[in-house]
Amino acid sequence: MSATATTAARTTYRIKLDHIEACNCQHGCNCQFGGFPNEGKCEFLIGYHIREGRYGDVDLGGTKVVVALKYPGAIHEGNGRCVLFVGDDASREQVDALEEIWSGRAGGMPWEALAGTLSSVEGPVQRPIEMKVDGKRSSFQIPGVLELELTPLVDPVSGEEKEVQIRYPKGGFFWDTADCTTSATMRIDYGDLAFSYPGKFASVAVAEWSNEA
């Protein structure tokens, strides 16, 4: 099948979502600047709440997704391991649509690019996802599996909350602008994915993804 035919047959999607993440990097996350994680390896959790959007005729508004990933080095160096969790309240049609997007098969950034860096993908695994979208105090958890709770950065001198952002004026990979926070709690215990990194880099953002030109 030609590339043109493949593109023509592709189901279009457009979604707007809340992006809640934390990783094992120090505050600032050198991946954002130098392209390589502070500690050599890259391990992180990201929670997504889709505010609105559709995959073809499937309404994805209100659905929740969590991904857990680990890489032995930088993301672009590959050999990553990913588990895709989808909320247990999602319908079969929604799960199928979310799998197409997060697997990269539907096209569009960031997952079309990320798919090529993964050597192992598990899921979609449907589990109850509890998620609170509250800016720099956002959180999510899958009971008995993983948990992430964000808390604002605090100035050690004044004791006041610090306002720090990372912004990509020409457009970023996951998001264009994110508020930087830190992780009060960040852990997962799921098979060979087992790590805990409280007090490390975290951020919250709103992003829009699409596979439309």
Q: Provide the token pair at 79.
A: 């050999």
| Burial classification of residue 13, based on how many CB atoms lie within 10 Å of its CB (0-12 exposed, 13-18 middle, 19 or more buried) | buried
Strand partners, 79: none
Q: Could you tell me the end-to-end alpha-carbon distance of the chain, in angstroms, rounded to an integer?
A: 21
- Note the pLDDT tens digit of each residue in 123-158: 999 999 999 999 999 999 999 999 999 999 999 999
Output the pLDDT for position 9. 74
Determine the Cα–Cα distance for residues 178 and 197; give it in Å rounded to an integer. 20
What φ, ψ does residue 15 adopt, rounded to 5°?
Answer: -135, 150
Burial of residue 73 (CB within 10 Å: 0-12, 13-18, 19+) is middle
Question: What ranges do the domains of the chain cover?
Answer: 13-210
Give the C-alpha separation, 174 to 44, whole Å. Answer: 13
Please give the structure tokens belonging to residue 85: 């969790």
Cα dihedral 117→123→128→131 (10° resolution)? 20
**What is the pLDDT at residue 10?**
86
**Cβ-proximal residues to 198 (8 Å cutoff; 6+ apart), any chain:** 183, 184, 185, 186, 187
Look at residue 4 in the predicted model and tell me its pLDDT: 40
- CB within 8 Å of 158: residues ≥ 6 apart: none
Residues 6+ apart with CB under 8 A from 192: 81
Consecutive H or E run containing 81: strand 80-87
Predicted local distance difference test score (pLDDT) of residue 2: 38
Mean pLDDT over the full length of the chain: 94
Each residue's pLDDT tens digit, 6-65: 445 789 999 999 999 999 999 989 899 999 999 899 999 999 999 999 999 999 999 999
Share of the chain above pLDDT 90, in %: 93
